[in-house]
Amino acid sequence: MAKRKTSHLPVAKNQRLRLTIQDLSYQGMGVGKVEGYPIFIANTLPGEDVCIHILKTKKNYAYGKLVERYTDSPDRQPLINENGLRTGTLPLQHMTYEAQLAFKQDQVQRTYAKHPQLRGIQVLPTFGMAPLEPYRNKAQIPVGEKDGQLITGFYRQGSHDIIPVEDFVIQLSGMDEAILAVRNILNAMGVPAYQERLHRGLIRHIIVRKGYYTGEVMVILVINGHELPGEDQIVERITQAVPGLVSLVLNQNTRDTNVILGPDNRILWGLPYYRDQILGQTYHISPQSFFQVNTRQAEHLYTLALEMADLGEADVVLDAYCGIGTITLNIAKKARQVYGVEVVPEAIDMARVNARLNGIDGVDFVAGKAEEVIYDWIQAGIRPNVVFVDPPRKGLAEDFIQAVIQLAPEKIVYISCNPASQARDMALFFQAGYQANTAQPVDMFPGSHHVECVVSLTRV
């Protein structure tokens, strides 16, 4: 796009105008254009004729707010919860669920299309779930203060102001109530909220995690300090107020950071873990451990990935970014031997416990960075013929990719929560002689723009 001077932008802040929405951004915002200059507007869909108010202009794009809609897209459905648009939890809620699934498939397709080598991959329809079924098993809720009272909610998109929210819509039953109960207890006990700007105050986040199958609840209080004044009474009240509670944890995070959890946990009451199940096996989950936030869809995701891998008794498998071993143990049931690597040591402790708990042999877990441990394994003569990867949003480390190429496994099963980094990494594997026919998006986060995608790459 040609560079413009700000003074020559085709629209100005606070201007009102009428336009037709042409496209959707990757975040699910409607895109309208004036002289080719894109304007992003939440809660609008392609084809809709709308009146908007310009909120903010930048050199190459602007944000607008919907004032009035003159026509409705056939893909539109009534809003479920206005807050979800402002906080970013339900940015796609105005789209029918079918349209959401098609949007996600299209997002993956467009992302892959930026890499010429990947254009042959057929992106399959998104694997969805029952529309509007609450799914989140984990809530990390910031705590603030208003008129001297504690408030809980979500940050307004692009800001650090908390919008008070009591009905989060997407969380498993009882979780919203647990958040409110804990907040009210802390409020009654006079615990001050953490103030991010001043790096002062105490309670930063209330985290609630719940086992979809077990109903077990873990509550984590994240504080900017080491002591909770009135601790005994707070503990007693929380244990009485939260049904299903099995673990109450104090997490100390005194750093000036937006990373939610600090390094130190103290168990205030109960167990150092809670439990959930995946495909019939039970997992212990500790405060620092990753666990897919949508238990039911995680089962489908893993099943699809395992089907793609088509493992047999002779296979030796590497499972990188393995967390608490949820994929690893399912691989172990089919393959000869599986090696799991994960950077969070506590998650590896859990993974070992989980293997024992479910009576599974033939697994070997190592705590460390995948991009380092893989070279130790190569040194030790370990030669996996199948590699699973499930990295965080930033994707695979370049060193890790080089090591896998050196190992030359027959198959690489790549699970990703970010198609952009997945496409970048897959392009490198393609250059090294791998190919893939299909990609399977899975909807792990209904109502949000996030998309998970699994691809099986084969060496040719």
Q: Which is nearer to ligand SAH, 323 or 446 (CB)?
A: 323
Q: Which is nearer to ligand SAH, 413 or 426 (CB)?
A: 413
Q: Which is nearer to ligand SAH, 43 or 251 (CB)?
A: 251
> Residue 137 is which amino acid?
N
Q: Which stretch binds ligand SAH (CB under 6 A): 58-66, 195-203, 340-348, 446-454?
A: 340-348
Q: Minimal CA–CA distance to 315: which of 304, 302, 325, 306?
A: 306
Exposure of 373 in the CB half-sphere (CA atoms within 13 A): 17
Tokens of 381: 């003569």
Q: Minimal CA–CA distance to 75: which of 21, 130, 39?
A: 21
Residue 326 is a binding residue for ligand SAH (CB under 6 A): yes
Applying the rule CB under 6 A, the residues between 367 and 426 that interact with ligand SAH are 369-371, 390-392
Q: Which stretch binds ligand SAH (CB under 6 A): 69-77, 174-182, 254-262, 366-374?
A: 366-374
Cβ 408 to ligand SAH, closest distance in Å?
21
DSSP H helical segments within 224-344, as ranges? 231-241, 295-309, 326-332
- For 168-231, give the DSSP string: -SSBPTTHHHHHHHHHHHHHHTTPPBPBTTTTBSSEEEEEEEE-TTT--EEEEEEESSS--TTH
Cβ 388 to ligand SAH, closest distance in Å?
8
Name the residue number minimizing CB distance to ligand SAH. 323
Residue of the chain from 151, 341, 348, 426 that contacts ligand SAH (CB under 6 A)? 341
Compute how many residues bind ligand SAH; rule: CB under 6 A.
19
User: Given CA atoms 9, 13, 19, 22 in this order, what sign does their dihedral have?
Assistant: positive
Q: Which is nearer to ligand SAH, 97 or 414 (CB)?
A: 414
Q: Which stretch binds ligand SAH (CB under 6 A): 83-91, 166-174, 227-235, 323-331?
A: 323-331
H or E element, residue 107: helix 97-113
Q: Which is nearer to ligand SAH, 315 or 452 (CB)?
A: 452
Q: Which is nearer to ligand SAH, 185 or 278 (CB)?
A: 278
Tokens of 239: 């244990």
Output the CA angle 423-412-391, nearest 5 degrees. 60
Cβ 292 to ligand SAH, closest distance in Å?
5
Q: Which is nearer to ligand SAH, 144 or 391 (CB)?
A: 391
DSSP H helical segments within 242-368, as ranges? 295-309, 326-332, 345-357
Residue of the chain from 321, 377, 414, 445 that contacts ligand SAH (CB under 6 A)? 321
Q: Which of 51, 322, 417, 453 is catalytic?
A: 417
Applying the rule CB under 6 A, the residues between 265 and 304 that interact with ligand SAH are 290-292
Residue of the chain from 344, 353, 366, 378 that contacts ligand SAH (CB under 6 A)? 344
Cβ 332 to ligand SAH, closest distance in Å?
14
User: From residue 178 to residue 197, what is the string marking binding to ligand SAH with x (rule CB under 6 A)?
Assistant: --------------------
The pair phi, psi for residue 252, each rounded to 5°, is: -100, 115
User: What residues are paired with 53 via a beta bridge?
Assistant: 16, 65
Q: What share of the chain is helix, strand, coil (3-state, %, to 5)?
A: 25, 30, 40
Query: Active-site residue 417, yes or no?
Result: yes
What is the C-alpha to C-alpha distance for residues 34 and 6, in angstroms, rounded to an integer? 15
CA 367 to chain centre: 22
Residue of the chain from 48, 75, 342, 349 that contacts ligand SAH (CB under 6 A)? 342
Name the residues annotated as catalytic: 417
Residues that bind ligand SAH (CB under 6 A): 290-292, 321-323, 326-327, 341-344, 347, 369-371, 390-392
